[in-house]
Amino acid sequence: IPRVTFVGPRGDWAARKKSCSNLFLLPVDEMYSWMRVLMHTHEYFKTNRIEIDDSETAKAALLALQSRMEEGGERGS
């Protein structure tokens, strides 16, 4: 996940955030699609028997993380 730090007044951040829409977007469906590919093709995943939790609860947790990141950007000054 890229890290973005905005240094400046809150009002400036709010204006900047509007011009950078989707800055904190987590493409959940695409992420899980690639994780499934890795799970079946990458040796590390196979060797360590890593399984992907693609339940609705896990996906909702990622969306909640996205919301918290967006809120954190709005609070920062």
**Does residue 9 form part of some domain?**
no
Structural domain includes residue 50 = yes
Host domain of residue 60: 25-75
Domain assignment present for residue 36? The answer is yes
Rg for the chain, CA atoms, rounded: 17
C-alpha 71, offset from chain centre: 13
Query: Is 3 inside a domain boundary?
Result: no
Query: pTM for the whole thing?
Result: 0.55
How many folded domains does the chain comprise? 1
6 is a domain residue: no
pLDDT in tens, 21-72: 666 778 888 989 999 899 889 999 899 999 889 999 999 998 898 888 777 7
Residue 75 scores a pLDDT above 80: no
Q: What is the pLDDT of residue 48?
A: 93
pLDDT higher than 70, residue 77: no
CA dist., res. 33 & res. 54, Å (int): 10
Query: What H or E segment, with its residue span, contains residue 69?
Result: helix 56-75
How far are the Cα atoms of 22, 38, 40, 50, 52 from residue 67, in angstroms, in the given order? Answer: 11, 27, 30, 27, 22
